[in-house]
Chain A
Amino acid sequence: MAQIFAYIVHKDGVADDTALELLTAAKKIDPAASVTAIVAGNGAGLDAVANEMAKAYNEVWKLDDPALAYPNAELVRPVLVKMIPAGSIVLVAHDTFGMDLAPGLSIKMDAAFVPDVVDIEGLEGDTLKVVRQEFGGQVSTHVTANIAGGAVLTPRGGVFAATEAGASGSVVDKSGDIGGLSAKRRFIEVVVAEVGDVDITKEDVLVSVGRGIEDQDNIEIAEDLAKAMGAVVSCSRPIVDAKWLEKSRQVGTSGQTVKPKVYMACGISGSFQHLGGIKGNPFIVAINKNAKAPIFQVADVGVVADILEFMPALTEAIEEAK
């Protein structure tokens, strides 16, 4: 059986939520596997993360190097290629770091690559069977990978339950094996997102619009409904890409994480990146003209309708009831 490794994303001495989800994914590949967590970085927080991971993983490799203080995939990739035995299975969370690191890692390891995995059905011989999604989550697909030469998988965040702590693994300091590090891409700084005129993360009721709004002029329809409800307008990514609303209004993994009581998803299909920004289990109302939109699978209440007709009608009814 191939060895399984999990690359741990962490920041300021705290492991990302995906850190223990990867262990669950590993156990779905092989329940008997001994799984090694790789914790790379530099400084005081690194030991805290490594020790925390040892409570769940059998073994933790600590890679401490000043050059790894900021996670630059171009530096991390050659280190992993050098240290991980050929034929291993490597799990990396499907986030912006994973998108940077993992495809190239699979090439350098000459291993199969399976991105954005949402479920793992199991391993038979050298054939690993997993579930992925295509077309923005509208359809799923079973995928097989020949892992005879190893594999790199990027499990999607939030779909595998986190494994509870309960192991007493060992932390092995592998820093001495890193060697010289250099890359043709150098990290300069992180520019923190600007705060807009409205803080959607603090609102109880959000009227959120997506592609279904069709035109910049129609944003007004959402603003009218929000005003009638005493809510605030937020949106999905395409609306910000089109510059119809400012970035600070965007809900999703690449935007804001919101925790409202009520979330009105209007003309939003419901990609996982969008849903990843909705926390706190709000009451979700989905209005979409596509009855097969993935948003209906996570919403509490659904209406199949054209939002350009339904929203004004709803606004009018609310005004009349006042």
Chain B
Amino acid sequence: MEILVCIKRVPDTSENEIALNSAGNDIERDDLVYSVNEWDNYAVEEAIQIVDRVGGSVTVVTVGDDESEEVLRREMAMGANNGLLLSDDAFAETDGRGIATILKAAVEKGNYDLILTGALADDGAGQVGGMLAAMLDYPFASVVNKIETGDDKKLKIGREIEGGNQEISEIELPCVLSIQTGINEPRYVGIRGIRKVASVEIPTMGAGDLGVDAAALAPKVKRLDYFVPEMGEGAEMLEGSTEEIIAKLLEMLKAKGGLK
């Protein structure tokens, strides 16, 4: 099976505090550590496991600048066979639909049976997979947490739906699936793995190579600013020494029935 996995380089926000820059038009990015989007990492692992079972190859693709090459290399160190960087000044200011448009052009340059994306990324939109499928007229399923391969015409998949339940469906190939975290346990990538792929040539394609018209990338949706939300009154913050904080907290927990 020929599998394309669409990935994105994002700031790792699980370990970093997000602060606004002084202009308020972006977050402070200088001190952030960037890596591959967590959901995408599960998607790449799933693709590698499928190819291990049924044969084929895994290609990782991203839309980004030169720095995005590092996440392609990281996923190749995991076991993806090929990388593809889609990079052009014309791609910089587009929206989710534009990203899907660029990816569609890349899909049409290849011959893929299965296209995977992460279910979500840093912007919380969860839109590119569904848009790409619609543009290609491929069937789509979101928040997929199980893939079973059968014959080469279809897959049996599970979607994570509300309440922790799982919706089981059959989907025809080629298709687009957006992958939920927890579907597998992504393998560890060590320094040695990274070194092995450090000098592998990663092809780059721009708007001209892909035949994407810049006018098709004009965004319908634009982000104006960033701001810190104010929701409700916020917590009463306990301050002082650890002993003082614990003494106050114990009193509150007793009063609220938190200690038995």
Residue among B164, B172, B227 making CB contact with A250, cutoff 8 Å: B164
Encode B155-192 as 1/0 by CB contact (under 8 A) with A.
01011111111111111100100100110010000000
* Identity of the chain A residue whose Cβ is nearest the Cβ of B184 in the assembled complex: A241
Contact of A254 with B235 at beta-carbon distance under 8 Å, contacts A205-B260, A321-B250 already known: no
Residues of A within 8 A of B138 (CB): 184
- In angstroms, how far is the closest chain B Cβ from the Cβ of A70? 9
B210 CB within 8 Å of chain A: no
Alpha-carbon distance between A142 and B126 when the two chains are bound, in angstroms: 18
Rounded to whole Å, the gap between the CB of A161 and the closest CB of chain B is 14
CA distance A297 to B231 in the complex (A): 6
Contacts between the two chains (Cβ within 8 Å), count: 272
**Complex contacts, B236 vs chain A, CB 8 Å:** 300-302
Q: Is the CB of B162 within 8 A of A134?
A: no
Minimum C-beta distance from B86 to chain A (A) = 19
Is the Cβ of B131 less than 8 Å from the Cβ of A96?
Answer: no
Contact B235 A134 (CB under 8 A): no
Assess the A193–B235 pair: CB atoms within 8 A.
no
Tell me whether A144 and B222 are in contact (CB under 8 A).
yes
User: CB distance B134 to A103 under 8 Å?
Assistant: yes
Q: How far is A314 from B139 in the complex, measured between Cα atoms in Å?
A: 52
Known interface pairs A99-B143, A135-B18, A204-B257; A256-B127 also in contact (CB < 8 Å):
no
**How far is A255 from B160 in the complex, measured between Cα atoms in Å?**
10
| Interface flag for B53 (CB, 8 Å) | no
Contact present for A136 and B13 (CB under 8 Å): yes
Question: In the complex, what residues of B have CB within 8 A of residue A187's CB?
Answer: 167-169
Q: Which residue of B lies closest to A152 (CB)?
A: B127
Nearest-CB residue, chain A, relative to B247: A317
Describe A's contact surface by its main secondary structure: mixed
Q: Which residues does chain A contribute within 8 Å of B253, judged by CB atoms?
A: 229, 262, 285
Chain B, interface size category, equals 35 or more
Among B142, B162, B234, the one with the most A-chain Cβ atoms within 10 Å of its Cβ is: B162
Q: How far is the CB of A131 from chain B (nearest CB, A)?
A: 8
Query: Is A165 on the interface with B (CB-CB < 8 A)?
Result: no
Contact, CB under 8 Å: B220 / A190: no
Contact A135 B27 (CB under 8 A): yes
Q: A103-B129, A140-B229, A229-B259 known; A302 and B238 CB under 8 Å?
A: yes
Shortest Cβ gap from A146 to chain B (Å): 5
Cβ A303 vs Cβ B245 within 8 A? yes
B249 CB within 8 Å of chain A = yes
Answer whether residue B242 sits at the interface, using C-beta atoms and an 8 A cutoff: yes
Q: Contacts of A123 on B, CB cut-off 8 Å?
A: none
Flag whether A28 is at the interface (Cβ < 8 A). Answer: no
Query: Given A103-B126, A186-B169 in contact, is the A297-B181 Cβ separation under 8 Å?
Result: no
Do residues B13 and A135 form an inter-chain contact, with CB atoms below 8 A? yes
- Do residues A116 and B164 form an inter-chain contact, with CB atoms below 8 A? no
Chain A proximity of B121: nearest CB distance (Å): 10
**Please, which residues of chain B bring their CB within 8 A of the CB of A113?**
96-97, 127, 131, 220-221
Chain B residue nearest to A291 (CB atoms) is: B17
Residue of A nearest to B139 (CB): A184
B14: interface (CB < 8 Å) = yes
How would residues 169 to 192 of chain A score, 1 for a CB under 8 Å from any chain B CB and 0 otherwise?
000000000000001111111111
Q: Is the CB of B143 within 8 A of A301?
A: no
* A315 → B minimal CB distance (Å): 10
Q: A99-B143, A138-B17, A229-B260 are in contact. List 17 more A-B contacts (CB 8 A).
A: A97-B161, A99-B178, A100-B140, A103-B127, A107-B130, A115-B125, A116-B125, A142-B225, A143-B223, A187-B168, A229-B258, A262-B256, A292-B228, A298-B231, A301-B236, A302-B234, A303-B249
| 26 CB-based A-B contacts, threshold 8 Å | A72-B169, A74-B139, A95-B162, A100-B143, A132-B123, A133-B124, A134-B123, A135-B18, A137-B229, A139-B27, A142-B227, A144-B224, A145-B221, A184-B138, A184-B171, A185-B139, A186-B171, A187-B168, A190-B165, A190-B166, A205-B258, A229-B253, A231-B258, A247-B164, A255-B164, A261-B257
A residues with CB within 8 A of B? 72-74, 77, 95-97, 99-100, 102-108, 111-116, 129, 131-146, 149, 183-193, 204-205, 211, 229-231, 237-238, 240-243, 247-248, 250, 253-257, 261-262, 264, 269, 283-286, 290-292, 294, 296-305, 309-310, 313-314, 317-318, 321
Q: 5 nearest interchain CB pairs?
A: A230-B260, A103-B130, A302-B235, A104-B134, A262-B258
- B positions within 8 Å CB-CB of A: 11, 13-14, 17-20, 27, 96-97, 100, 119, 122-131, 133-135, 138-143, 156, 158-172, 175, 178, 181-182, 185, 220-232, 234-238, 242, 245-247, 249-250, 252-253, 256-260
